[in-house]
């Protein structure tokens, strides 16, 4: 009967004996032994082969100490890393001497002190593989600019939930009527043209797209523009901004065909927003509007009433008191036609100074009345369509429609705005020009709103889509984004009253004395060309051409005074 194998016990016994033997060694002796073994590994290639064979076989030898095991493990890793990069040893000629692996600096140290924290993590870093480097380079590369990034469309953005089928049919009429007024852009031709230009855009292109002006002199054009009424000057200043160039920026807007068309669309859009869509019932008589304000908006404006409850009450009031007793042949409010005609003529009066910049033709006097008739007829059609849409919104008891307009100088917001001059903005981007050195000031140029053409529309409904959420929260549907015009630049830094007073005093004081007036005018012209921002509102530019600027501006200031509380507040007190 063969004796039982005692291999594992013998190996454990040998390991224990070697450990007892190492315990008798001192730190210096142990370091010398380690150094000697490393030197042998450097000078004798068979030592390296022995380590490789031992580590690859199952019966790995038991080393005397744990430190030796760590050293040999590092040697094995370095061997594998070098073999992966260098040429295999079999392909080398027999005369070539095999270079041994160079162990790290910490292996050749004779002391037993631990490495510092920084060395432990900086020396053991393994360089990334070529595939990993390629992936990192691909991530660092910027994505190429494609044409799809600059397509400004009216397509709906992705929604995080699937909308019910009734949503599309609910707002289809309202959305189509909005597109009929302002136009619609699609992804196919959203940069240069539009699929449905809209009534307002057609009107601006037909009557205000002229390129020939009556004069090429800026002073004559400015003098002609200062003859406009205060209402025209006020509306122009509300919807657009001349920029940091002052008067030159305003003349650029009025002389450039595309900017002039956008200005006309913006004026029409602002008038429709304030006088048509903001009216509780467009076309009602003054007494009916006063009663509607008093019985609905003022009486039920406090909690627990909200916009949805007021919409329900307003719908009932309009149907019973106005539409039921109206003698209009189409069932409209009694003053609908008269109000639309009056607003069309007022718009014609506001836009006439801009129309006067066109160069006169030989048959200008013969066709003046015909041109005026076409202008007013086109404006009446726009106002009437907007009035019908406003009534349709007010007669929806379960929906609140809200319009939001962008402000001059606001930052460009992709999700809420669309720009008519976006292709021009992409071409003139100061940070993507084909130059080796980018201007330092170009890094701080931002896309800012210069002209507010048309407001964005949203529809609000109370409650959720499910039956259990009918009284919880609200849901929103975007009907159209804001239509704006953009410019590259920095936001305006508004000056305080002290800075404005100091500048005015310096200019007025310099005009005193013989010959000082011309000198001050030359200084102002030099300041315009030195690159400094010269912000100036159009209302101030217009007032300088009037006989008494202070009197004209004082009359306008009273229009924006806060209204005094009415009798309904005094009765509660």
Q: What pLDDT, on the 0 to 100 scale, is given for residue 31?
A: 58
Q: What pLDDT, on the 0 to 100 scale, is given for residue 259?
A: 92
Angle in degrees, CA 277, 278, 279, rounded to 5: 90
Q: Is residue 210 part of a domain?
A: no
Q: Helix-strand-coil percent breakdown of the chain, rounded to 5?
A: 55, 10, 40
Q: Is residue 93 part of a domain?
A: yes
Q: Is residue 56 part of a domain?
A: yes
Both tokens assigned to 213: 């002006």
Q: Is residue 329 part of a domain?
A: no
Its pTM stands at 0.65
| H-run or E-run covering 168 | helix 166-170
Q: Is residue 31 part of a domain?
A: yes
Sign, CA dihedral 253-259-260-266, equals negative
Both tokens assigned to 16: 């224990």
Q: What pLDDT, on the 0 to 100 scale, is given for residue 86?
A: 58
Q: What is the DSSP letter of 465?
A: S
Q: Is residue 100 part of a domain?
A: yes
Give the span between the Cα atoms of 266 and 485, in whole angstroms. Answer: 10
Q: What is the DSSP letter of 323?
A: I
CB 214 within 8 A of CB 357: yes
Residue that has been written with the tokens 């030898």 in this structure: 61
Sign, CA dihedral 203-209-210-214, equals positive
Q: What pLDDT, on the 0 to 100 scale, is given for residue 495?
A: 57
Phi, psi for residue 495 in degrees, rounded to 5 = -85, 150
Phi, psi for residue 27 in degrees, rounded to 5 = -60, -40
Q: What pLDDT, on the 0 to 100 scale, is given for residue 376?
A: 94
Is 547 strand, coil or helix? coil
Q: Is residue 240 part of a domain?
A: no
- Structurally, how many domains does the chain consist of? 1
Mean pLDDT by runs of 10 across the 573 residues of the chain is 47 48 53 60 44 41 64 83 62 46 42 45 47 58 39 50 64 89 62 68 92 89 92 93 90 93 95 94 90 88 87 88 70 90 95 91 64 92 96 92 91 89 87 63 85 94 80 86 90 60 48 47 45 80 86 78 49 44
Both tokens assigned to 95: 């005369």
Q: Is residue 104 part of a domain?
A: yes
What's the domain range around 106? 24-111
Give the span between the Cα atoms of 267 and 275, in whole angstroms. Answer: 12
């Amino acid at each position: 009967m063969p004796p039982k194998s005692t291999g594992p016990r013998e190996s454990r016994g040998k390991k224990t004996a070697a450990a007892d033997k190492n315990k008798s060694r001192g730190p210096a002796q142990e370091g010398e032994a380690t150094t000697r073994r490393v030197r042998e590994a450097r000078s004798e290639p068979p030592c390296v082969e022995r380590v490789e064979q031992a580590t690859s076989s199952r019966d790995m030898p038991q080393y005397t100490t744990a430190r030796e095991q760590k050293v040999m493990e590092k040697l094995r890793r370095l061997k594998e890393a070098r073999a992966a990069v260098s040429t295999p040893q079999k392909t080398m000629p027999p005369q070539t001497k095999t270079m041994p692996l160079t162990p790290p600096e910490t292996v050749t140290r004779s002391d037993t002190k631990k490495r510092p924290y920084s060395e432990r993590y900086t020396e053991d870093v393994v360089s990334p593989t070529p595939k990993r480097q390629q992936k990192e380079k691909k991530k660092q590369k910027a994505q190429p600019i494609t044409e799809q990034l600059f397509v400004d469309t009216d397509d709906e953005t992705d929604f995080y939930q699937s909308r019910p089928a009734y949503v599309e049919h609910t707002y289809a009429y309202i959305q189509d009527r909005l597109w009929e007024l302002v136009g619609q852009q699609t992804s196919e031709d959203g940069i240069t043209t539009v699929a449905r230009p809209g009534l307002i855009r057609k009107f601006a292109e037909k009557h205000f797209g002229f390129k020939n002006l009556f004069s090429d002199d800026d002073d004559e054009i400015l003098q002609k523009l200062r003859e406009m009424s205060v209402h025209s000057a006020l509306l122009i200043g509300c919807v657009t901004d001349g920029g940091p160039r002052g008067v030159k920026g305003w003349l650029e807007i009025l002389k450039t065909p595309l900017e002039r068309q956008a200005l006309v669309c913006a004026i029409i859009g602002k008038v429709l927003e304030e006088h048509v869509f903001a009216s509780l019932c467009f076309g009602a008589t003054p007494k009916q509007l006063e009663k509607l304000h008093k019985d609905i908006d003022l009486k039920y404006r406090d909690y627990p009433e909200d916009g949805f409850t007021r919409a329900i009450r307003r719908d009932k009031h309009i149907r019973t008191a106005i539409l039921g007793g109206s003698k209009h042949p189409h069932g409209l409010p009694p003053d609908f036609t008269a109000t639309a005609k009056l607003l069309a003529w007022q718009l014609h009066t506001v836009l006439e100074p801009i129309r006067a910049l066109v160069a006169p033709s030989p048959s200008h006097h013969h066709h003046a009345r015909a041109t005026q008739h076409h202008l007013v007829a086109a404006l009446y059609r726009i106002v009437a369509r907007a009035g019908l849409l406003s009534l349709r919104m007010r007669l929806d008891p379960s929906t609140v429609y809200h319009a939001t307009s962008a402000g001059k100088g606001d930052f460009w917001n992709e999700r809420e705005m669309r720009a008519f001059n976006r292709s021009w903005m992409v071409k003139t981007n100061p940070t993507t020009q084909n130059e080796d050195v980018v201007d330092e000031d170009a890094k701080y140029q931002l896309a800012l709103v210069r002209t507010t053409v048309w407001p964005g529309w949203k529809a609000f409904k109370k409650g959720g889509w499910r039956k259990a959420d009918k009284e919880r929260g609200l849901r929103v549907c975007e009907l159209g984004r804001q239509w704006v015009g953009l410019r590259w630049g920095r936001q305006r830094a508004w000056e305080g009253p002290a800075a404005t007073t100091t500048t005015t005093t310096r200019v007025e004081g310099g005009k005193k004395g013989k010959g000082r007036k011309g000198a001050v005018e030359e200084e102002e012209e030099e300041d315009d060309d030195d690159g400094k921002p010269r912000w100036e509102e159009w209302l101030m530019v217009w007032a300088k051409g009037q006989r008494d600027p202070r009197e004209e501006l004082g009359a306008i200031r009273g229009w924006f005074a806060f209204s005094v509380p009415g009798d309904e507040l005094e009765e509660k007190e």
